[in-house]
């Protein structure tokens, strides 16, 4: 689980999540087709 400040914008949340080493490990070098951000709730990454 990743906890971020609730004041971040959608773009800032996506940037922070995608820069995390554990997220990159799970992507296995794949490029996400879509990143869905629901502020204050969840981030989904579609590969």
DSSP 7-46: T--HHHHHHHHHT-HHHHHHHTTPPPSEEEEETTTEEEEE
| CB contact at 8 A, 46 and 32 | yes
Read off the pLDDT of residues 1-47 as tens digits, 9 standing for 90 and up. Answer: 899 999 999 999 999 999 999 999 999 999 999 999 999 999 999 99
Q: What is the dihedral of CA 30, 34, 35, 36, to 10 degrees?
A: -150
pTM here is 0.84
Pairing of strands 34-38, 42-46: antiparallel
């Amino acid at each position: 689980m990743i906890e971020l400040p609730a004041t971040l914008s959608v773009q800032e949340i996506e940037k922070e999540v995608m820069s995390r080493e554990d997220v990159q490990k799970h992507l296995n070098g794949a490029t996400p087709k879509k990143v869905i951000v629901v502020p204050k709730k969840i981030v989904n990454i579609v590969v």
